[in-house]
Structure 1
Amino acid sequence: METGTAKHSPPEPAESRFHRGTNQSGMRDHNERLVLSLVRQHGSLAKSDIARMTGLSAQTVSVIMRELEDDGLLLRQAPQRGKIGQPSIPMALNPDGAYFIGLKIGRRSAELVLIDFLGKVRAAEQLSYRYPTPRETVAFVASGMAKLRGSLDAGREKRIAGLGIAMPFELWNWVDTAGAPRQIMDEWRHRDVRTDVQALCDFPVYLQNDATSACGAELVFGQSSGLRDFVYFYIGAFAGGGIVLDGRLYSGPTGNAGALGSMLVPGPGGKQAQLIDIASVAVLEKELNAHGIEAPHLWTSPEDWGELGPTLDEWIIQAADALAHAIISATSVIDFEAAVIDGWMPVSVRGKLVDAVRKVIGSIDAEGLTVPKVHEGTVGVHARALGAASLPLSERFLIRPTMIAGGT
């Protein structure tokens, strides 16, 4: 009797199929990821729509979508009846199809988020501090991740597909700005945080610069999908940014492209200064402290800062001037169609900041340049953590937008 043949093998368990075709880098079959990317972009699609957009045969699309449905990644929607023929059945992403964890390690706080396949935050943990230490951070990840995983039942927990880390590169160089002891910050120089966190996980761990991750969150989860080329600013404890070219996050050969915080801009007294020294929330905190106002809620309550008075107004004026000049300088190198500004701040403050930037840009001599439109970011305070969580999502289930643009 023949043994071991495919026709006599038991059905493959759903959980095994979920991890089918993944290696250490988590890459799925190109066509599967293409279908998932299109469905994510459009919300829901029928097989005929996908076949038309991709050029794949109807039979191939049918097989792919059936496998993705069996994997629990796609859900059938209500049939849509046309004028003739059989009704089409759109397919949408299953929110419970996969989960991802994002870790943001910031200069004043750390954050863990658990998101579903649609990018919705299901649970979150936060830690505030004067400055980050490796030991405290890893301990926070261990305890926080246990809580996040405990919020899911056993079946859903098995669908956690990866963890992404968003943190400043060369954190040890921020001793003076962070106000931290040099020996503590030097510990980061000798620690491989990705390896430390990987030891806590049974799924892949990815690492990216924090501001670049925030930019990636805007690209994957935000409402700026119509923009193909934009420069992105994230105003956190320190200002940073990212670059999107042709619908794709550009991080450069060292992963540090879009280090906009280091850009030189006009500073106090007409002297040049780095953007980070003017348009950062840490600068606002310093000014508030100088006026006798303690403001720990800047870090613990980013959705509501309360009434901060003229100190906040003055910071907005100075930050807007610096950001406007940074945008013009960046545009002189790359012809960006837009500049997107987001940050660790209430939506109302972000709106005032963006309005102020628009006014300043209108007063700058930009002859010879096409001045980009200035947009508010649409992700908000969780952008860096969501960007971190988008790393395993993008690596394992999506393809870059430029590869699907032609078919849509």
Structure 2
Amino acid sequence: MLGVPEMVVPQRRRGTNLPKMGDFNQAVILDSIRRSEEGLSRVELAASAGLAAQTVSNICRRLLDAELIMEAGKETSGPGKPRTILRLNPQGMYAIGIHIDPALTSYALLDAVGTVLVSIDEPTDLCSTPEQAVAAMGAQIRQIIAESGIPEQRVAGVGVATPGPVDASSGTVVDPPHMTGWNRVPLRDLLRESTGLPVVMDKDVTASAVAELWAGADASATDFVFVYIGTGIGAGLVLNDEVVRGASGNVGEIGHIITDPDGPPCDCGRRGCVKVTCMPETLVAQARALGGLPALAEGAVQSLPEDMAALAEAASAGNTAAQDVLAQSARRLAAAVSVLTNLLDVDRVVFGGPFWPALAPTYLAQMPALLTHLSVTDSVHSVDVVGTIVNSGEEAFGAACLVMENAFSPKAAQLLLDSKI
């Protein structure tokens, strides 16, 4: 057509021109706009989403009226009328995230483009009852909103990331291994009551996988495993550019994959599981037993994050005992991760979580070769090993991204037609 040059647009999720698909189509448009750093025109949106130009125009008008997107200037790319570029409006929506780890609870306030406006960390309260602890979390969230000065009606909700296992359908935390007393805690409902806001709850590993997508990971990385290293270790899964959650929301419980058949006994009755060979507290205990690390000497009272930092610092300084502990953990965890990469045929492994920075130098140096050796598809494709693009200390970013995913990402469920039609 004269005046309209040929365009190359990324092929993401496509919309549908069937009736009653407005919500899905709107999510497709929002998702396309947020994925483009430079913004997109209506013509480009129609091409990438496979929607009629009028459908795209109507959706964009609604989004502009709601101030979720904004016009960001004109662009001329050839003969014809200049195109108006559309981008997300940073102030159009906000989300709050809360990440609960047995050692640390983190909060983050994000705007619509993912900028962290507020970040707060505090020790996790495991002495109070879960109900009291969650009430305090709710109060902290209310304080963050009040002090930020943002319009409360623009807060889309609260995302909460918690250790598993969880009952996703009821928003319940089901007896996490390192949080004594948190058995069948209705976290989602308690937090909704204490904040007065919609709440989305997910496992910490799943939230981390969502964050990796939301933060702008390599567009080619549509299939990957996210290995989360916190007080516990789990895995998030992304296939075909979508986060996989499983039947009950508990994808990634890898604690009982055997990494060393001759390793220490596990409470499951077997030996050498991830749970007893690779977790940070295990590594600290091993280093302490070897001696020669003053910061980890018997009687030295520190938190687990401080202990892991001391172990990493000792290894970096050339302490062979510390280096051996971390190298052994890399070999063991590679054995577990290779089970996932071989089973799922992914070509990327992303490591992250609160304790990842302490392990990153050793793992990034040793893990690629280990996974290549253990891969059954190494003659077909390699397996990239990378660290998360989410900044260390911003695990609550992933929790807030759960809200953004819920608001922006197209969901197959939206395509299900009413059975009465």
Give the TM-score band, short-chain normalised: 0.7 to 0.9
TM-score (norm 1): 0.80
In structure 1, distance between residues paired with 2:78 and 2:363: 51
Match of 2:297 in 1: 292
Give the Å deviation of 1:36.
0.5
Q: Unaligned regions of 5+ residues in structure 2, if any? A: 1-20, 166-172, 266-270, 290-295, 415-421
Equivalent runs, 1:4-403 vs 2, <5 Å? 29-43=23-37, 44-129=39-124, 131=126, 133=128, 134-155=130-151, 157-170=152-165, 173=175, 178=178, 185-186=180-181, 188-266=182-260, 272-287=271-286, 290=289, 291-292=296-297, 294=300, 296=302, 299=305, 307-309=313-315, 310=319, 312-345=322-355, 347=357, 349-364=359-374, 366=376, 372-382=383-393, 384-399=395-410
Q: Give the total of aligned pairs.
A: 368
CA contact (8 A) 1:110 1:137 kept: no
Give the Å deviation of 1:363.
4.2
The letter for the 2-side match of 1:49 is E
The secondary structure found in structure 1 opposite 2:73 is: coil
In structure 1, distance between residues paired with 2:323 and 2:70: 48
The secondary structure found in structure 2 opposite 1:59 is: helix
TM-score (norm 2): 0.77
CA contact (8 A) 1:51 1:61 kept: yes
Kindly tell me: are residues 269 and 29 of structure 1, through their superposed partners in 2, closer, same or farther at Cα, counting changes over 3 Å? closer
Larger relative contact order (Cα-Cα within 8 Å, sequence gap ≥ 6): 1
In structure 2, distance between residues paired with 1:398 and 1:162: 15
In structure 1, distance between residues paired with 2:280 and 2:214: 25
Give the Å deviation of 1:199.
0.3
CA contact (8 A) 2:342 2:375 kept: no
Kindly tell me: are residues 218 and 268 of structure 1, through their superposed partners in 2, closer, same or farther at Cα, counting changes over 3 Å? farther
Match of 1:14 in 2: none
In structure 1, distance between residues paired with 2:248 and 2:273: 21
In structure 2, distance between residues paired with 1:369 and 1:165: 41
Choose 253-262 or 374-383, whichever is displaced more.
Answer: 374-383
Match of 1:18 in 2: none
Q: Give a deviation string over 1:314-344, Cα, whole Å, max 9, x none.
A: 3321221122111221233221122111121
- CA RMSD, Structure 1 to Structure 2 (Å): 3.2
In structure 2, distance between residues paired with 1:342 and 1:315: 19
Kindly tell me: are residues 110 and 353 of structure 1, through their superposed partners in 2, closer, same or farther at Cα, counting changes over 3 Å? same
The letter for the 1-side match of 2:63 is L
The secondary structure found in structure 1 opposite 2:410 is: coil
Give the Å deviation of 1:227.
1.4
Match of 2:4 in 1: none
Q: Unaligned regions of 5+ residues in structure 1, if any? A: 1-26, 404-408
